[in-house]
Structure 1
């Protein structure tokens, strides 16, 4: 059976005896509606065969703040996303509360209890979360997925095309004449890492090459020291790479440090590309070629999507892919050979 369309204000007015103006205020989330009028509107919705919870906006009394969940506060990637979300939240009359927490099978029950206790108006999730857990959370609080997402769920999302961005970056290295392109990647439990691996592999295969297992390193987290150790081992191998594609600017900075330790020049001996266009990419010497993610816009759009959903649960679920751009800097300025 298909879902019923939303009732008109005139239908609700006739069934409840409440004016269209008052119904309009309640449907827009206004607090200027008496409890008696609210009860009559809820009763009218029920009598007309509608589920009030799926139609009425979340009351302001349930929280005037939005919870923004990230997996790792130390990762500089999130700074501009948080700033964009904070600006959007403030513009809509909400405060943004930052929470660093895992959301998985081991933590979900405690996390659900926290949500019930603090009652945020909505939740922005940047973590990699299973579909089962996302659906459980979505029954409790309006959600938007940001960066990491499952596009197959009925939950809004904003992200980028990681595979396409990675492919373009690796093609840039191929155009420079690089023959052995190493890839320092994040944990494959994250969708971005799986998609960037696919883009890396696709670029090599399109150029008639195969991805070499010994050149592909999966690191457990975005961590400078881990990346430094991995890069140092690769650069000291008998058949060292002549380029690195890194799924984080943090990794790329570590590669540059490792190259200096073994007296190799970036970009003359080793070309390096990072990802995210965080502050570290322009602060390094040499500066790092990187894939720019519109991080501020991602936070802004994600929070706007959420406030729209808070105010109107009947809006169709939508997803958005933002454009990326390769920012060419000193770490990959060799001329093609």
Structure 2
């Protein structure tokens, strides 16, 4: 039989006893355990993780420590200056405003290796919910948020999150397939692919879609036209595209795993005097606002980033009201947006091998 404390004093004595047990097992003071529970600074990352692990093992739950939830949402993210993140921010802010909530943004430097320091500020502010645009969330951080009654949702997670981690993503494999099929239907056979980060699930899914489209059309993959894994950035795209376009048997089309890499391919084509789309077709991925004003406007896969952010915000607010909600994984559809950067390949008789330097430029 479980004995339930009947008074506040008895509950507090039981909580103190539990804290003492946790502190003893972790080899720290009770005040250190309290700091971890309340998200305060002054505790090393190793100690914080050790205490959190013991709290989870002991199934410790805070008692009689309810505090008011602040009328705000928190967005934890990286690369605040990127066009991609701006569209996420627009979506989160729109739903927060409609719900009468303010928005706090916590930025970090590295999406791939996020520090654990963000959790301290979140626990101190006690927001109504947290939207995470980071690579992953540790079990310790999950426990801290849940023990404080703060729901969270991940947007476009880097890997495959655990089943109990709410997340919003998009159909990356289908996006990669549609982009490559579009080029095949135009008549291209030598189609290069500029890959994204190796351990980013979205990037590998786009590559799988590219390969499936080639295989479905009976087109052998040319390994030398599959770019090495790299960043979703213009410099990375330019570097790899230059190497491919300088080949005597250069590709007639490039599918880039991100719009920024595609703009890098534009720069490489400009450097080599290769005309887009007359001599080279380019397809990007994301449909960032800037691509509509590129010269020529970029054909790309529309990833509904603003809608993903909106759905993540709606979901975190719903979890606020329904903590036991089961269906917390959602994948939004992608679509192909055809603009001016793709066309049928030039007839073989009209094109000389290798780059045509200083003769043609990217259309403005």
Q: TM-score range by the shorter chain?
A: 0.7 to 0.9
Alignment of 1:318-337 (within 5 A): 318-334=328-344
1:168-218 CA-to-partner distances (Å, cap 9, x unmatched) read: 110111111112111112212211111111111111111223433321224
8 Å Cα contact 1:75-1:222 kept in structure 2: no
Question: What is the distance in 1 between the residues matched to 2:190 and 2:329?
Answer: 36
1:21-46 CA-to-partner distances (Å, cap 9, x unmatched) read: xxxxxxxxxxxxxxxxxxxxxxxxxx
Aligned match for 1:313, one of 323, 327, 335: 323
8 Å Cα contact 1:252-1:273 kept in structure 2: yes
State the shift of 1:318 in Å.
Answer: 2.3
8 Å Cα contact 1:159-1:322 kept in structure 2: yes
1:211–1:195: structure 2 CA closer, same or farther, 3 Å change rule? same
Aligned match for 2:193, one of 172, 180, 183: 183
1:56-75 CA-to-partner distances (Å, cap 9, x unmatched) read: xx977232222212221232
Question: What is the distance in 1 between the residues matched to 2:344 and 2:330?
Answer: 35
8 Å Cα contact 1:69-1:98 kept in structure 2: yes
> Number of matched residues?
284
Higher relative contact order (CA 8 A, sep 6+): 1
Aligned match for 1:61, one of 68, 75, 85: 68
The answer as to 2:183 corresponding to 1:173 is yes
8 Å Cα contact 2:132-2:152 kept in structure 1: yes
Aligned match for 2:163, one of 134, 153, 169: 153
Residue aligned with 1:80, SS: helix
What's the TM-score once normalised by structure 1's chain length? Answer: 0.76
The equivalent residue for 1:144 is 153
The equivalent residue for 2:115 is 107
8 Å Cα contact 1:65-1:121 kept in structure 2: yes
The answer as to 2:263 corresponding to 1:256 is no
1:140-191 CA-to-partner distances (Å, cap 9, x unmatched) read: 5311121226365212222111001111110111111112111112212211
Question: What is the distance in 1 between the residues matched to 2:189 and 2:124?
Answer: 56
Aligned match for 1:86, one of 93, 109, 126: 93
Question: What is the distance in 2 between the residues matched to 1:203 and 1:131?
Answer: 36
The equivalent residue for 1:35 is none
1:275–1:105: structure 2 CA closer, same or farther, 3 Å change rule? closer
Question: What is the distance in 2 between the residues matched to 1:134 and 1:297?
Answer: 26
The equivalent residue for 1:209 is 219
State the shift of 1:103 in Å.
Answer: 6.4
The equivalent residue for 2:276 is 266
Task: Provide structure 2 residue ranges, at least 5 long, that are not aligned to the other structure.
Answer: 1-58, 348-364
State the shift of 1:114 in Å.
Answer: 3.1
What's the TM-score once normalised by structure 2's chain length? Answer: 0.71
Question: What is the distance in 2 between the residues matched to 1:211 and 1:135?
Answer: 42
State the shift of 1:314 in Å.
Answer: 2.1
Structure 1 range deviating more: 188-197 or 95-104: 95-104
Question: What is the distance in 1 between the residues matched to 2:119 and 2:104?
Answer: 16
The answer as to 2:138 corresponding to 1:128 is no
8 Å Cα contact 2:278-2:346 kept in structure 1: no
Aligned match for 2:308, one of 298, 320, 332: 298
Task: Provide structure 1 residue ranges, at least 5 long, that are not aligned to the other structure.
Answer: 1-50
